[in-house]
Amino acid sequence: MRGASSAKWVAMAAVVALAATACGGDDDKDDKGGSSSGGGIVSASWTDPQKPIEPANVNEVQGGKVLDMIFTGLMEYDPKTAEAKPAMAESIETKDQQNFTIKVKKGWTFSNGEKVTAKSYVDAWNYGALIDNAQLSASFFQDIEGYADVHPEAEGAKAKAKTMSGLKLKDDYTFTVKLSKKFSTWPQHLGYKAFSPLPEAFFKEHDAWLKKPIGNGPYKVDSYKKGTGMKLSVNKTYAGEDKPVNKGVELKVYTDFNTAYNDVMAGNLDVIDDVPAGQLANVDSDMQGRYINQPAGIVQTITFPLYKKDSWGTKDAIKVRHGLSMAINREQITDKIFSKTRTPAKDYTSPVLKTGGYSEDICGEYCTYNPSKAKKLIEEGGGIPGGKMVLSSNVDTGSHKLWMDAVCNSINNVLGKKDACTVNPVGTFGDFRDQITKREMNGPFRAGWQMDYPLIDNFLTPLYKTKASSNDGEYSNKDFDKLLDQANAEPDTAKAIKLYQDAEKLLVKDMPSIPLWYQNGSAAYSDRVENVALNPFSVPVYQAISVK
Amino acid sequence: MGRYVIRRLLQMIPVFLGTTFIIFAMVYALGDPVAQMFGDRTPDPATVARMRHDLNLDKPLVTQYVLYMGNIFTGDFGEAFNGQKVTELMGEAFPTTLQLTLVAISLEIVLGIGLGLLSGLRRGKILDNVVLIGTLVVISIPVFVIGYLAQYFLAVKWNWVEPSVSADPTIDEMILPAFVLAGLSLAYVTRLTRTSIVENMRADYLRTAVAKGLPRRRVIGVHLLRNSLIPVVTFIGTDVGALMGGAIVTEGIFNIHGVGYQLLQGVVRRNSPTVVGFVTVLVLVFLLANLIVDLLYAVLDPRIRYA
């Protein structure tokens, strides 16, 4: 009976194997993620946010979608015009552009019944700014006086205070904000979700809150299963105007957006808000018009390491930079490589700003393809520093290798040389960012900027002001800084925008980076839903989607 | 036999420690996950320092590893990038993938061995040639092509099945993904079985069995098939591990939130607890699957004994 006794041992080893692999296979939770959602619920594609969903800790679009639905801040941005308008703010007043008195509307509640008061804002902002909480968007509070005490600059330094001295409660529905310096357009930042109010429950039962976030927005979270999806239903206590026309939203996590796309075609999913590149060729016939493709608040540029004083940082190099910009055939590249999902750039901002500072002719001829003049300018500037340039970017996402090759080809053709411009593909995004922050770049590199709020200031200050947080090329121009300061102190918005644009013109003159194109937001939807539109952040306006 | 099993189980401990360290070092080499979290924005040094401290990233590699292993022995596998416990993630991903793998392996066993047996017995006939050509085609087409084509035609065009698997998948939803996943191995199992059968058909013991006048069923079922299965069992055993960890493509296509998908997320987001945790369990699966295969030899072939 050898066979039988061996079989016994096999069985025992199998038991060990099963015990090891199936451990923790706990029973399902009650919320079964159903596949097709009926009854007025809109289903939409999603991927897991990279951090737990807290207003000041979300800096990417997937977590941002949820914040958009469950929070309403003091201001909000019009989904069509991107204009900032009051939402929960009764009034925001200032006399000196530095001290603001904010009155909060009464009658708003969080979805757990708690009242939204001035304290909900002050506590939330102090939480977001405090270094101990290590929030990704802490720097959004840096204009408020006392930020340096709660969030010291130096590594390893401890916070000197728990709250910012610039925030003061006046009564239940009024608080004052003192900024560290004049900033007239500051109230328009308040539509950014990092400035959302937070209920007491957030501070008292933090873990429970993270599992099921509670906000004051048009929707409330019914269930959230990490890695699988989130179900939201209409928040009945929502006091805002843009009440949802559907009964709820179901966000479904997809491993691959091609699958989500196929699900839309098969009628299994209603909205996909990022059409995969591989489907662009056939999206028109597949969706029969149910496809949106419009510029987003994202601009891609090539930034120069101006900290390399003897090569790219010289005076002559300005002409070379201008020449290189004119040597790039933007139209052809956006057409051929991106199937028109990028729009050639004409300035340093984005078309989503519309009346807020976008201009089609700020960059002018310097952003227009002109091979003969390009060659002339580069030669006048003494040619490419060192005779050769290497263009760097991470290549793990977004067809960066393809367009970099195209840009280099374009430049090489103009110069009539084979290897004047070559490409340096960096394996991962993390590595690429490491090299940039350590200032290790010897040649130009890709820089993408996604706006935080639809204001021209957001496209200029963080990127080009001397020593600004994301000024990776270390551009510095005193006149530029001065114009920005003037614009910030200017109470009249139209005049302020004009001053920002004047500053932008200096950028064109110095060209610390070459604007390439605006990235487009895309979405496709099933024939079950109507009124799908993208807001300035390229996120679908979920409230407005109606189910047939 | 018992001592043999115990010895093999004990041998797993150094293998386990070695692999976890290698994986840990490799994920560490991928670079810093913190800078990446800020996107194109340059992070402020204070926040970065705080995050690195919280994740123990400011300590040397060996210290990090010791801290990590210390936590593992108390049952704490750390947190994934989205703040979810890795043990929780495993509790969701492994059952899903196990389900997929079991369906795939069953297909391999039933169809693979069945087809292999049939074509082996009818060597040179039409059926044999059809099977040979069919498997050749499957072997030469990459998995993602088969996956996307199957999804497009069966789900989108003809609407026979759903294109993606739901959040709490049932066995019948898994059949199409399992077919795609098992396709390649199925072809190998078929060819392996066929070759083995053809070889053993000419063996002396088989001629003896036929000469003894045993019924055909017994000749084929007990004498021929059982002896032909040894290489096939080896292959299927190692395939269990490969299917569980290597289903990244299939899981991606059919939206299955299993081991492959979670591993990929861990790598993309540079989250070492996820990667090391999952790979550790996969290593155990491989080791145990190999042990079972070795023990199965003794069942199939009476000449093999373990002391």
What is the reported pTM? 0.79
On whether both A506 and A410 belong to a single domain, the answer is yes
Binary contact (A50, B82; C-beta < 8 A): yes
On whether both A178 and A299 belong to a single domain, the answer is no
Lookup: tokens for A132: 């101990």
Binary contact (A430, B151; C-beta < 8 A): no
Give me the helix-helix angle, B226-245 and B272-300, nearest 10°: 180
Answer yes or no: is A218 within a domain. Answer: no
A154 in contact with B at a CB cutoff of 8 Å? yes
CA A38, A525, A87 angle in degrees (round to 5)? 85
pLDDT digits (tens, 9 = 90+) for A437-463: 888 888 999 998 888 888 898 899 989
A 10 A CB-CB count for A494 gives: 8
The last residue of one of the domains, among A176, A208, A240, is A208
A 10 A CB-CB count for B128 gives: 18
Secondary structure in 3-state letters for A41-84: EEEEEECCCCCCCCHHHCCCHHHHHHHHHHCCCCEEECCCCCCE
Chain A residue numbers touching B282 (CB-CB < 8 A): none
Binary contact (B151, A437; C-beta < 8 A): no
CA A346, A351, A356 angle in degrees (round to 5)? 110
**Total count of residues recorded for chain A:** 548
List Cα–Cα distances, A135 to A61, A413, B189, in angstroms. 16, 46, 53
Distance CA A190, CA A178 (A): 14
Residues of chain A with pLDDT under 50: 1-3, 17-18, 20-37
On whether both A353 and A487 belong to a single domain, the answer is yes
Residue A434: what residue type?
A: D
Identify the pLDDT of residue A24: 38
DSSP B112: I
Beta-carbon contacts of B114 under 8 Å, excluding residues fewer than 6 positions away, are none
Region of B137 on the Ramachandran plot (φ > 0 left; ψ -120 to 50 alpha; else beta): alpha
CA A191, A193, A195, A201 torsion: positive or negative? positive
Beta-carbon contacts of B77 under 8 Å, excluding residues fewer than 6 positions away, are B71, B85, B86, B87, B90, B273, B277
How many interface pairs between A and B have CB atoms less than 8 angstroms apart? Answer: 219
Which secondary structure element, helix H or strand E, spans residue A451, and what is its range? none
Residue A71: what residue type?
A: F
On whether both A308 and A202 belong to a single domain, the answer is no
B179 in contact with A at a CB cutoff of 8 Å? no
Exposure string for B239-259, b = 16+ CB within 10 A, e = fewer: bbbbbbbbbbbbbbbbbbbbb
Chain A residue numbers touching B265 (CB-CB < 8 A): 48
List Cα–Cα distances, A469 to A243, A301, B237, in angstroms. 37, 17, 54
How many angstroms separate the first and last alpha carbons of chain B?
A: 5
Identify the pLDDT of residue A27: 37
| Residue listed under structure tokens 């991107």 | A82
Exposed / middle / buried, residue A448 (Cβ in 10 Å: 0-12, 13-18, 19+): middle
pLDDT means over runs of 10, chain B (307 residues): 83 84 79 70 76 80 84 80 80 88 91 92 90 91 87 83 78 85 90 92 88 88 86 86 80 86 80 84 84 82 72
Distance to chain B for A260, nearest Cα, Å: 8
Distance CA B98, CA B256 (A): 12
Answer yes or no: is A548 within a domain. Answer: no
| CA nearest neighbour of A105 among A238, A263, A294, A270 | A238
CA B100, B101, B106, B108 torsion: positive or negative? positive
Domain tally for chain A?
2
On whether both A335 and A201 belong to a single domain, the answer is no
CATH number for the domain including A81? 3.90.76.10
**8 Å CB contact between B17 and B280:** no
Identify the pLDDT of residue B9: 85
Q: Which of B41, B281, B287 would best serve as a mutation to test chain A binding (most A beta carbons within 10 A)?
A: B41
Secondary structure in 3-state letters for B43-91: CCHHHHHHHHHHCCCCCCHHHHHHHHHHHHHCCCCCECCCCCEHHHHHH
Exposed / middle / buried, residue A532 (Cβ in 10 Å: 0-12, 13-18, 19+): buried
Strand A529-530 and strand A546-547: the pairing is: antiparallel
| CA nearest neighbour of A398 among A352, A338, A451, A335 | A338
**Residue ranges of the alpha helices (H) in A257-399?**
257-265, 283-287, 317-326, 330-336, 371-380
> How many angstroms from the chain centroid is the CA of residue B32?
29
CA B12, B15, B17, B20 torsion: positive or negative? negative
Answer yes or no: is A66 within a domain. Answer: yes
Answer yes or no: is A359 within a domain. Answer: yes
Distance CA A78, CA A106 (A): 22
Answer yes or no: is A69 within a domain. Answer: yes
Distance CA B77, CA A24 (A): 12
Q: Which of A139, A256, A301, A526 would best serve as a mutation to test chain B binding (most B beta carbons within 10 A)?
A: A256
| Residue listed under structure tokens 């401290």 | B53
* Nearest by CB: B163 against A138, A266, A428: A266
Task: Give me the interface pTM, i.e. the ipTM.
Answer: 0.74
Answer yes or no: is A267 within a domain. Answer: no
Q: Under DSSP, is residue B256 helix (H, G, I), strand (E, B) or coil?
A: coil
Distance to chain B for A432, nearest Cα, Å: 9
Distance CA B150, CA A430 (A): 35
Residue A441: domain span = 295-519
Distance to chain A for B71, nearest Cα, Å: 17
Beta-carbon contacts of B137 under 8 Å, excluding residues fewer than 6 positions away, are none
A 10 A CB-CB count for B170 gives: 10
* Nearest by CB: B292 against A10, A448, A469: A10
On whether both A341 and A204 belong to a single domain, the answer is no
CATH number for the domain including A322? 3.10.105.10
Answer yes or no: is A126 within a domain. Answer: yes
Chain A residue numbers touching B257 (CB-CB < 8 A): 227-228, 253, 255
Q: What domains are there in chain B, each with its CATH number? A: 86-300 (1.10.3720.10)
A 10 A CB-CB count for A436 gives: 24
On whether both A184 and A322 belong to a single domain, the answer is no
Binary contact (A17, B288; C-beta < 8 A): yes
Give me the helix-helix angle, B114-121 and B126-140, nearest 10°: 140
A 10 A CB-CB count for A362 gives: 20
Distance CA A294, CA A287 (A): 16
A282 in contact with B at a CB cutoff of 8 Å? no
Measured in degrees and rounded to the nearest 5, phi and psi for residue A169 equal -80, 130
Answer yes or no: is A394 within a domain. Answer: yes
Residue A269: what residue type?
A: L
**8 Å CB contact between A218 and A141:** no
